[in-house]
Every structure is written in structure tokens, then in C-alpha cells.
Chains A and B, each alone.
Chain A
Amino acid sequence: MAEIATICPYCGCGCGLYLHVANSRVVGTAPMRAHPVSRGRLCLKGWHAHELADSPDRLTRPLVRRGDELQEASWEEAVSEVVRGLQGVIERAGPQAVGVLGSARCSNEDNYLLVRFARAVVGTQNIDSGLAAYSLPEQIAAVSDARIADLDDADLIFLVGAEPGEEEPAVGAHIYRALQRGAKLVTASVRRHALARLAALHLPLKPGAEAAALGSLLYELVVERKLAGDADVTDLTAALADLKPAGAEGKTGLAAALVSGAADLWQAAEKVVVVFSSALAASVEGARAVSAMGAFRALGAGPRVAVLGLLGRCNLRGSWDMGVRRGFLPGAPAGDLAAEGRLKAAWGGDFASGEGLPAWEILDQCQALYVMGDDPSRNLPDWAARRARLEQVKFLVVQDLFLSPLAELAHVVLPAASFAEKDGTVTNLEGRVQLVRAAVKAPGEAREDWRIIAELSRAFGKPVSPQSAADVFAEISQAVPAYAGLSHHSLQAAGGAEIGRDGAADALAGAISALRAAEDGAQAAEQFPLLLVADPTLGTWAEEVSVSHLPVAGREFTVTGKDYPDGMLVLNPADGRKNDLRPGRPVEVASAHGAGRMQVKFSPEVPEGIAVTPYHHAARHRIMNIVAEVETGRPVFAPTPVSVGAGK
């Protein structure tokens, strides 16, 4: 038995773990005490990471569509099929007709070479993240500056829209330990989750008023208690004018006394860490709330403040750094001439350097799609419509571990190596670059994602020089300033290296414009008395092939689908009784936008008058109001007034 030190492939915490290897097979997972984030702990997913590598459902050979069927093929056939398919579209419609989606599940090396493949080999600038619809890199990068270890000496933790105990359990562990040593916790969220029940104070967020609620607290801190210090807050104060807690209760849903209580705890602290979930960004007002957090960092008096944005997927931050992000090159925004020069030198000439389309437009407009390690259709609010559109795509290539629902539609499916079968690096939510190590060989003919991309580049007549993941990383360290000076060799120690951010925007300016635009919370109506909210922190893993195929952990996640086959509608028990509903039973949920059937769950976590459903469940139906965000055109769910029919 050997113990291979590596990094958990699931959420953005980047926990250290060991894979136990016996007879060339991964047979177990153990936690890493020496790891600075996880310190000997793992979550439900992490404890079962070995099951991912060992799953009998893994793809082991390339598949090529012949007629209606995906049939096994050799790598040579599959690669030439990909080249033929992509070149066909390029010849007919130009390279911009090809869209490429990278993955937070894949390593920096995989994502970097994919960006290079898209921009320099195919010649398309249409490359984005499969998670783009609910994780806004600009806003998050602008406000999040803290390290997870900042929680360890915080005396006030302010948790906004997040339940890290469920979403990023390793961060949750730091918070639970902070509570044990006497730190205070203030929570602000729609659901009164477990950590909210342990908080010194809980601020119930009104759906659609997330930014206004934060604005109300900012008003109290900046204007009433003068915690801005020497900072110039004229513009900020102006943006907050309508949010004075005493007059804004109707707007924010927060009683002035609660805001003042939170401000008391804030003032009594020496160090505050604001922790927010990137899932907030899945709604218009949630995204504004994320930006508004930039104002906390501008407070010049009172406690020291750090802001920590939680990212729900392993290498989301790293994939952004590599340029799997609309309008961004590896390490710099598109249009940055220095970056273009660096990349031209590294990539051997001109490349498509424009901003490109965001993921939702790529899915709508591109005739050919190349998707690595994700199922982006599921991460958009109108999944059903997207799926129909994907069936129309002329040429779809999917590279993944399992035959995902997206892969079933593909023309070519390429089997990828899992985290346990490849060397590489991932960057966690706080910017910790860490080494992932191959413990075993990939099953069958599966290959590392970066190697597949390198092979395709060669087949396109533009070979890339790196021969190993370490070589790819050497190129990354040249191309992406934040990674300069790092190498696989220098990242050997547990915890790797911590890096800063390239090209983060001005946090205060972002906060001011977000707060200026903040709207009142949504209101239920007589005909539709409940406000339905899509929650991306509920049940997201159940939809992930990387979890659903695990024999033990998968059972825990996929049970939601068994119990709530049409979708889960979570209600306060009082609302359930009022409507004569029974848990587990299907009900008709109707709104001005459509109707659908869901199964009911009762939970006191959800306040009366509100109904919560997992984001992915909402996406299956046409019940909720889908709006386009003004600034970006991004389709998002808006809190939607609904009625629930009699139980059947």
C-alpha cells in the first residue's frame, strides 16, 4: 500500500488528501493532517474521492457517432474525426463559429492548453467557463482578497448567502473552530441554515434585496457610525442615500434593530472576515451584493476587514487565471498589449485575441462546440431550451470522465484521465496553487485532458512544445504573471504556494455602481402568494457526473432525485399546512411565466412566504421568471411569485 499525496477534485477549498494505492488500483482516501487548509479533515465528497478513479462507469475508449449511435473508435480515428468536424465548420463559417468551454474540474495545465488550442490553433476567441452563468469572475475577483487562514484569528465572521458547512466544508471547519474559541458569527441568507442557527445574529435576506440589505448595513457602518476613517466616501454615501436602515425596512426586509445589532458586533470586533458564496452571483441582485462587498474593504476605521469569496468548484479560480473566462487571456484582460506580446512569443505567432462571447451565447450561436470536463447546458436557467439547441449543433466534441447527458449528444466523445491519473496543478478559492499527482494509470485508453489537447493541436498542424504537465506549467509560469517563478518542483510541499490576482478591478467603484442600482426585493402577489427562489447551493452536486457515479457518496447526492423526481420545492411547514400539502407529494407550481410539477419538502430553514428550489431543478421547468442581466445579457432566474396547487 502506498499513500500518494494529492488534492481533492471537488469544491474550491483545495483540501489535501492521500490516495491509497494497492496493486495499481486506488483503494482508499485518507485526510492530510499536514495540509494548511484541511488539517486532517475531509468532507463527504473528499472521503470518497478514490471511488471516482475506480468507477466502473468511466469512459475508457473514444466514441465516434455513426448514425444515431456512439461507437468505440481508436484515438487516431477520433482525432481525425475531430479535426475533420471542426475544420468543416471553420471552412464554412470561420473560426468564430467554434465555441470552446473549459472546466473548473480540470487542471491549470488542461485549461491553459485548451485556451491556447482555442485561440491559437482553432483561431476562435469564443472560450468561456461552463460555469459562467453563475460565477462572475470579475465581481468576485474584485472583492475577494482574504485567505482561508484569515478566519483563524477573526473575532467576527459575517457570512453572506453562504453555508460553507454544506458547500465548502473545509472553510466551514475553520468557522466552527472559530466559534469554539469564542468568535462571533453574523449570517445573512434566505435560508436559516445550520450555521445561521449558531450565529449571534441572523439577518434574513429578502430574495431580490440582497444588495439593498448589504447597503443598509453599509449605511449604518459608513454614515451612522463613521467607520470610513480617512477614506473619501462621498460617492458611496450618495449611493447609499435610500438605504438608511430606519427608512428602508420595506425595501430590504431587514428591521433597523437587526442592522444596528450587526453593526454593534462589527464595531466590537478587531478583525472581521466577510465570507460570501459565489452562488450569490446567480441572480441579478445577488451579483450586485457581491460587488457591494467591495465597500467593506474600503472602511478605513473600525476593525480590520478581509473578504473571502467561496468558489464551489475545484479549479474555478485557476481556470479563470488560465483564460477560461470571457474577455480574458491567460493572466490579463483581452486587449492588454503586454499579455498579447507574451502569448505571441509563447504560442509562436498571432492568435485570436478578442473578447469573445460568453458561455450562454456560445451555446446559442456557435455551430461547433468543444467542451472539456463539464456540462454547461445544465448550468443555465433554461436548460430544456438549451438542450434542444445543443441537439442542433453541427459538431459537438465532449471530453469527460463519464458519458454525461451532454456527451450523449456529442459527435465525438474523448475519454479523459481523472485527478488520480494525472499530474498537474489546481488553484483553490484563495489562490493556493497545489500539485495534483498521478497515483495510477488511467483506465483503458483514457488520457490526460492536456495531452488530448496537445494531440489535437498536432493534428491541426500546430504542435505545442510541452511534453509533460510540468512543461505546460513552465509555459504557464511565463505567460501568467501571478504564476511567475512557480514550477511543479517548487510546489511539492503540502499546501503548495499562495498567489495574488492578475488584473482585479477597483472594488469600491464596483460597489458604488452596484449599490446605486440595487433594487427593492421581489413581492409575492395575491394570486401567487409564495416567492420562489432558485438556490444554486442546494443539490448542485447531485447533477455532477463526478459525484453521481460514486457508489457510496453518489448515493447520498442522487437520493434527492429519487425523492423529488420532478424537482424539490422546499417550504416552511406553516406554508405547507396552509396549502394542505404533504411532504414528498407532487404539487402544481404556477406563476405568470408557466407551470410545472414538483415534490414538496418541509423545512423550518425556509421562512414563511418563500419557496426554495435547487437551481438545477428550477432549470428543468418553465416556472420561474428568467431575465437578462442588463450589464452582461446573462440569463438569470429572478425571484418569482408562484402559487402551489392542491397536493395530488
Chain B
Amino acid sequence: MNAYFLPRDRVDELVGRLLRAAEVIAPKRVETGDVFYSPVSSPGEVAWDYKTAVEPLKRFLLPQQETVLRFSTGEKLRVEPVLEEKDRIFLAVRNCDVTGVNVLDAMFGGEIEDPYYMARRRRATFISLACLEADEQCFCVCGDAGPFLKNGYDQQWTPLAEGMLIEVGSDKGQALADAHQDLLSPAEPDQVAEKLQLAKRAEETFGEFRSYIAAAMRRLTLAETPDEVWERLADHCVECGGCTFLCPTCSCFTVTDRLEGDGGVRERHWDACLYNCYAREASGHNPRAEHSQRLRARFFHKLSHQWAQRNGRHACVGCGRCVVGCQAWAHMSAATEAIRRG
């Protein structure tokens, strides 16, 4: 795929053009200092110097709460789907988060397409900004999702000393580059070399957290992890659901109907497989009644070979948000460590 160079003094011009073409979602610093991926209205709002955003991109494709259809039950039952269709460019988002979207695609764009997710997904473009420095909770090197990627993005931008290196990863990314050729020049070999240097340096900045994904994957796949490990992990988990909500790849949801007049709306909400009632059946039977069973199911889904084969990869991108958000100590890094120790 092609690579281009965007001089530093033209970055705002290009961002301005993107803003005129679509809704642009970019890292934005809120008043507390936290950073969110959020709609921006001017190039100056983009927090280029951020490390990580509080939340992944999931909310924009699979909202925490969304109306999926409206119905009326008058003389004739009428059902209308509610699809959100608009062009969105996700700018300067992290590679772990772009990889997370690719995992969600396997869930919602696979054998049975989810129309609500796909309506948003088809019109989304992902421009990632490679990380030059890891945040404290990061372990994307273990998750095979960063800090630099070889593919999976529409464009990957790397901040070089004099401007952005723009690598194209898809037809959508190429079309975007083609539309703004007047601002770009083909990348020079020394610019690509500079990127490789930055990538190497970035990998040296990771902190204490890691994830023993290979060990966990083999043992989960072969069910070699003794029950005591899950029971012990259950004592380190308060079932807040934070890891699942913050995870770029978790996709559990539940559906409720909200009645209004002689009709109503059907809503979809994020749910968590760790919650006691997630798998509970109407009879009251709960196939995963024990907390330890729910933890096992979650990590099996994340890391087993069976799921990795189906999705094309395992489902941890190493963003470390479960480390930040865990109310106790049962995040991915702690769990794979517990599994490895057996």
C-alpha cells in the first residue's frame, strides 16, 4: 500500500477538509483533563498529544443505549428499524482501538449481520495515530494491536519531526488520500526509516502490565485451567462489568421494549457476560450461576483458539482499559497471569 507525507503546516488544512466532508470523531480533552473520542468542530480541538482515551470507539458503533426499532400496535402491527447513517471519520484514534473495531466486525458483520452496527460501520473511516509512547496500563505489544500496525486501518498516521507519515491500509484510505493529493507528497525512504525508528523506541516505553496470551490461549482451549483458579479469580472480581464496557471488543447486549402509547421502541443496552443474570433463563435456571463460571466463560470467549479461529484473532488488543477500570483485580493482565500460574 502507498505511503505519503503531510507537512506539519498542512495538517490543520487537511483536518479542516475532513470536517467539511463528514462528522469527525477525534481525541478531545475535557475539562477534567481526561480524553474522550468525541466529535470535534475545529482542528484545534484535536488532542494530538494524548496517550489514551478513557473509552474505546465501541460507543460510536454499538452505543451503550440505542433505539433499534419503533413499533405501533394499532390495527396493524408496524415495525420500523432505526438506522443511524452518516459519514464519520475517526481521526487520530489509537491502533488498539482500530483493531478492536476489526474484532467487533467479526461479531456484527459475520454470518448474521447486525444492521444497526453495520449501518454505522460501513460509513466509518479510521485514521489511526501511532503511539510514540505507551500509557502506564498499555500492553498492546502482547495483544498484537500496536503501537504500530501493518494493516487493519484505513490510514495510519505517524507524527514525524516535520509532519505526518500517512500509510494507506484500504481502498477507503486510498480514496481519502487521492482526494487530498494536493496536500500530500509520496513518502521518502528516510521518512519510512524515521517511522521504524519511532516504532522501535515506542516499544521500549511499556510499563509493568503484560498479558500472557499464548499460555492463556492454550490452556483455555484445552480446558486445562483448574476450577480453583477461577474461584480465586472470582474473589478478585466484584462483577462491576467495567472490563466489558471498557473493552474495545466486548459485544454483549440486551434488548428491552419501552412502551409509549399504542406502540413503543425497542432498545438495545450494553450488557456484561459477567453479570449474574446475563445468561439466566426465564425458568430461573442459570447455566452460569457461579461467578467463577462466568469468569471462565468471559476469558474463554476472549482468548480461546475456538473463538480466535472464528474471529481471525483473539479478542484482547492490550489497550489496558480493563486494568484501569477494574474495581478489584481480575483484569486481562491479572487473569492471564493467574491462568499461566495455574
Contacts and interface: CB of A to CB of B under 8 A. Distances in A.
Contacts of B271: 552
A141 B200 CA distance: 55
A172 B238 contact: yes
Contact of B63 (A28, A177, A493): A28
A42 interface: yes
A47 B254 contact: no
Interface in A159-188: 165-166, 169-170, 172-173, 176-177, 179-180
A51 interface: yes
A1 B38 CA distance: 7
A4 to B, nearest CB: 9
A568 to B, nearest CB: 14
Interface in B54-71: 54-55, 59, 63-66
A46 B239 CA distance: 12
Interface stretch (B12-20, B103-111, B276-284): B276-284
A27 B64 contact: yes
Given A41-B324, A556-B277, A559-B277, A30 B238 contact: no
Contacts of B34: 18, 32-34
Interface in B23-37: 30-34, 36
Contacts of B235: 194-195, 197-198
Contacts of A51: 65, 269
B330 to A, nearest CB: 9
Given A176-B329, A555-B277, A3 B30 contact: yes
Interface string A550-582: 011001100100110000000000000000000
A601 to B, nearest CB: 11
Given A40-B325, A41-B242, A563-B284, A50 B65 contact: yes
Interface string A29-45: 11111110001111110
Contacts of A1: 38-39, 59
Interface in A31-85: 31-35, 39-44, 46-47, 50-51, 54, 56
Nearest to A46: B240
A551 B242 CA distance: 17
A525 B241 CA distance: 43
Interface in B252-284: 254, 256, 258-260, 267, 269-271, 275-277, 280, 284
B116 interface: no
A494 interface: yes
A433 interface: no
A35 B325 CA distance: 12
B325 A3 contact: no
Contacts of B96: none
Given A42-B242, A47-B241, A51-B65, A494 B32 contact: yes
B327 A5 contact: no
Given A1-B38, A40-B54, A51-B65, A172 B328 contact: yes
Contacts of B30: 3, 5, 18
A20 interface: yes
B65 A194 contact: no
B317 interface: no
Contacts of B324: 33, 39-41
Nearest to B276: A556
Contacts of B325: 31, 40-42
A599 B325 CA distance: 35
A318 B241 CA distance: 29
Interface in A77-126: none
Nearest to A495: B32
A153 to B, nearest CB: 18
A28 B32 contact: no
Contacts of A323: none
Contacts of B254: 551-552, 555
A453 to B, nearest CB: 30
Contact of A176 (B55, B64, B236): B236
A258 to B, nearest CB: 21
Contacts of A34: 32-34
Contacts of A172: 238, 327-328
B238 A28 contact: no
Given A20-B59, A173-B327, A50 B64 contact: yes
A137 to B, nearest CB: 27
Interface string B208-250: 0000000000000000000000000011101111100110000
Given A47-B245, A166-B238, A198-B235, A41 B32 contact: no
A47 B59 CA distance: 14
Interface string A1-39: 111010000000000101010000001111111110001
A563 B277 CA distance: 11
B326 interface: yes
Contacts of B64: 20, 27-29, 50
B282 to A, nearest CB: 10
Contacts of A563: 284
Nearest to B256: A551
A559 B36 contact: no
Contacts of B275: 44, 552, 555-556
A404 to B, nearest CB: 21
A93 B32 CA distance: 53
Given A30-B55, A42-B325, A56 B258 contact: yes
B328 A5 contact: no
B145 to A, nearest CB: 20
Contacts of B277: 555-556, 559
Contacts of A494: 32-33
A42 B272 CA distance: 14
Contacts of B239: 44
A245 to B, nearest CB: 28
Nearest to B280: A559
Interface centre among B34, B254, B269, B284 (most CB of A within 10 A): B34
A170 B280 contact: no
10 contacts: A18-B36, A29-B64, A30-B54, A31-B246, A34-B34, A41-B324, A42-B242, A165-B238, A556-B276, A559-B277
Nearest 7 pairs of A and B residues by beta carbon: A28-B64, A34-B32, A40-B324, A194-B235, A494-B32, A176-B328, A165-B238
Given A40-B54, A41-B327, A173-B326, 14 more contacts: A5-B31, A28-B63, A31-B242, A32-B34, A34-B33, A41-B240, A43-B327, A44-B240, A44-B241, A54-B65, A165-B238, A172-B327, A552-B269, A555-B275
